[in-house]
Structure 1
Amino acid sequence: MIDIKPIDKLESISQLKAQYFALSSAPLDGMWHFGFVPMASHFGFYEQDNLVGFCCINDENYLLQFYLAPEAETDAKALFRFIAQQQSQVIKQVKGAYVSTAEPHYLSLCMDNSTQFALNTLMYQQLVPVNNNVTTLTLALAKPEQLQQFVEFAATNIGAPEQWVSGYYGNLISRKELFGYWQNGELLATGECRLFDEYQTEYADLGMIVAQSHRGKGLATQVLSSLINLANDRGLTPICSTEIGNIGAQKTIERAGLMPQNRIVQIAFEAK
């Protein structure tokens, strides 16, 4: 018999999270797993009060992670189906899941219960190290007093909510992971070289925004190339991602030398 209970402190499942990441066939997307997942509701799976697994569900009622330790007596397929068919009185509504092709076991369970799926995100990584991508562009580390300028830039150019991005950028600045490119005093692009504190510590997760007025001029490729150089100089393998419909970003990323090895898929579950 298995019990499902809410988890308030994510530290209690840190060992299970480590096992979950160890099963992945490639690095998992940083924004999804270290940005969205911590904000999701987590539930633990218990056998005789022993914690043997977990899952997490976002505010839109989609599963983001599912894991059951191999020593558990409960059948993973049966437990997953129980949750997917909304039979749990603790978890309740579950519409579907977001899962990457780098999570083979979780993906298989999702597909077993799916009615339809759609590609959501392309996941890129550097497969062959490059000795300094050729770029004359120099990125400058963001300073704390520049936070509001970065926030307004993100709000203007991608419509990011200012309250959220203020906290997000503030954290990146404190970690020295946010960069900017200025020309004649004007901020034209931002770049992120996010490091992992645990699990995927050999990778660097990259991100960038280019001002709408300077898109299509090759600036994005130069910014990304500079970020790749920053990661490589630290002995790290760059990864990044972009939405399936963002053709411009995909061309930029591939020009900079990263390849789309995996996908994040949105899956709808069948009704019970």
Structure 2
Amino acid sequence: MCNSFKFTESNWKENGIFLEDYLNQLSFPMDSYIEDHLEGAKVYTVLRDEEPIGFAATHKETLWFFYIRRDHVKVAQEAFEAFIKAKEIKGVYFQTSDTLLVSLTCDWEFEKFKGAYFFIDGKRVDKPNIKAENPEFKLAKNQDIPLILEKTGKFFDKLEERVSNETIFMLMEDGELLGCGIIEYGRYFKDCCSIGMITCKDHRQKGVGQYILWNLKEFCYNKELKPIAGCWYYNPLSKKTLEAVGMISVARGMNAKLLEREVIPLKPMDS
């Protein structure tokens, strides 16, 4: 039977039931980076013989999210290939927690580009040491914005909004900014909170990053939230710092530049 697939532009509201099932199938919660891309993606509804069976979501020529209803998964390979060709998709960004998208991508020949480590909380740890006599960890206020900009540059987007929402923290010592932390409440995984930090250039190698992340984790515990995080694959210092405060990496983010779909002969090849 030859299937007929269509891909109509839509939105997440129109795919609400599919999105809920998709999120429930993930083996690892999305951090804020992935949530941002989910919300900013161009969304398509996947139709098989005019019946909605799933969704696809892209950023330019890269496919980020792909879901097919369980009762139609047997045509997922065919639908995936049809979408790739119809929308002239050049690559796929996948999280290893998204087993269907990983599997469908692996059916193709592709060039792999490592993207990110994703972390969950492995354990609660003791407060780390820091080379500072009187460290003060506090919420950033509006009057702190000029100092944060001076010391961290463009690290934080929407800084004023984040400060207003009480999601930016500062580590100070005697009026000197040592570093900043950030939390981002989960929009889809409501019980999770993404954490991150930046150490000011003059205060590296002092334990500042660990101290900030430890405090952010404690903040999450007090709110009965699960801390999660992500970092660039080629930033071993960030990975080491996250691991030092009890975070463990159980998922990866990968970019796959698609080459061609492997064609399997109907008749098994002689061994």
TM class, shorter-length: 0.7 to 0.9
State which structure, 1 or 2, has the greater radius of gyration over its C-alpha atoms: 2
- Residues in 2 aligned to 1:15 and 1:139: alpha-carbon distance in whole angstroms: 42
1:14 partner amino acid: G
Change in 2 beyond 3 A, CA 1:148/1:80:
farther
Which residue pairs with 2:66 in the alignment?
66
Which residue pairs with 2:264 in the alignment?
none
The answer as to whether partners of 1:120 and 1:243 remain within 8 angstroms in 2 is: yes
The answer as to whether partners of 1:133 and 1:228 remain within 8 angstroms in 2 is: no
1:225 partner amino acid: W
Query: What is the CA distance between 1:146 and its match in structure 2?
Result: 3.7
Instruction: Please give the TM-score of this superposition, normalised by the length of structure 1.
Output: 0.83
What is the DSSP-based 3-state SS (H/G/I as helix, E as strand, rest coil) of the residue aligned with 2:70? Answer: coil
- Residues in 2 aligned to 1:225 and 1:117: alpha-carbon distance in whole angstroms: 33
Which residue pairs with 1:193 in the alignment?
183
Map of 1:20-31 to 2, 5 A cutoff? 20-31=22-33
The answer as to whether partners of 1:2 and 1:74 remain within 8 angstroms in 2 is: no
Map of 1:160-199 to 2, 5 A cutoff? 160=155, 165-167=156-158, 169-198=159-188
Does residue 1:95 correspond to 2:90, yes or no? yes
Map of 1:102-251 to 2, 5 A cutoff? 102-128=97-123, 130=124, 133-134=127-128, 137-155=135-153, 160=155, 165-167=156-158, 169-198=159-188, 200-251=189-240
Which residue pairs with 2:269 in the alignment?
none
Does residue 1:264 correspond to 2:253, yes or no? yes
Which residue pairs with 1:80 in the alignment?
80
Change in 2 beyond 3 A, CA 1:6/1:237:
same
Which residue pairs with 1:39 in the alignment?
40
Query: What is the CA distance between 1:224 and its match in structure 2?
Result: 0.6
Q: Which runs of 5 or more structure 2 residues have no equivalent in the other structure?
A: 262-271
Query: What is the CA distance between 1:69 and its match in structure 2?
Result: 1.5
Query: What is the CA distance between 1:111 and its match in structure 2?
Result: 1.2
Change in 2 beyond 3 A, CA 1:151/1:38:
farther
The answer as to whether partners of 1:116 and 1:269 remain within 8 angstroms in 2 is: yes
The answer as to whether partners of 2:42 and 2:57 remain within 8 angstroms in 1 is: yes
Query: What is the CA distance between 1:231 and its match in structure 2?
Result: 0.8
Per-residue deviation, residues 60-90 of structure 1 (Å, max 9, x unmatched): x211111112244871111112223xx20xx
- Residues in 2 aligned to 1:132 and 1:233: alpha-carbon distance in whole angstroms: 15
Which residue pairs with 1:51 in the alignment?
52
Query: How many matched pairs?
Result: 254
Change in 2 beyond 3 A, CA 1:230/1:268:
same
Query: What is the CA distance between 1:135 and its match in structure 2?
Result: 6.3
Per-residue deviation, residues 143-166 of structure 1 (Å, max 9, x unmatched): 2444454345432xxx54xxxx44
The answer as to whether partners of 1:123 and 1:240 remain within 8 angstroms in 2 is: yes
1:25 partner amino acid: S
The answer as to whether partners of 2:186 and 2:193 remain within 8 angstroms in 1 is: yes
Does residue 1:5 correspond to 2:8, yes or no? yes
Query: What is the CA distance between 1:132 and its match in structure 2?
Result: 5.9
- Residues in 1 aligned to 2:90 and 2:171: alpha-carbon distance in whole angstroms: 41
Percent of aligned positions that are identical: 19
What is the DSSP-based 3-state SS (H/G/I as helix, E as strand, rest coil) of the residue aligned with 1:232? Answer: helix
Change in 2 beyond 3 A, CA 1:112/1:212:
same
Change in 2 beyond 3 A, CA 1:212/1:246:
same
RMSD: 2.4
Query: What is the CA distance between 1:107 and its match in structure 2?
Result: 0.8
What is the DSSP-based 3-state SS (H/G/I as helix, E as strand, rest coil) of the residue aligned with 1:10? Answer: coil
Change in 2 beyond 3 A, CA 1:189/1:16:
same
Which residue pairs with 2:16 in the alignment?
14
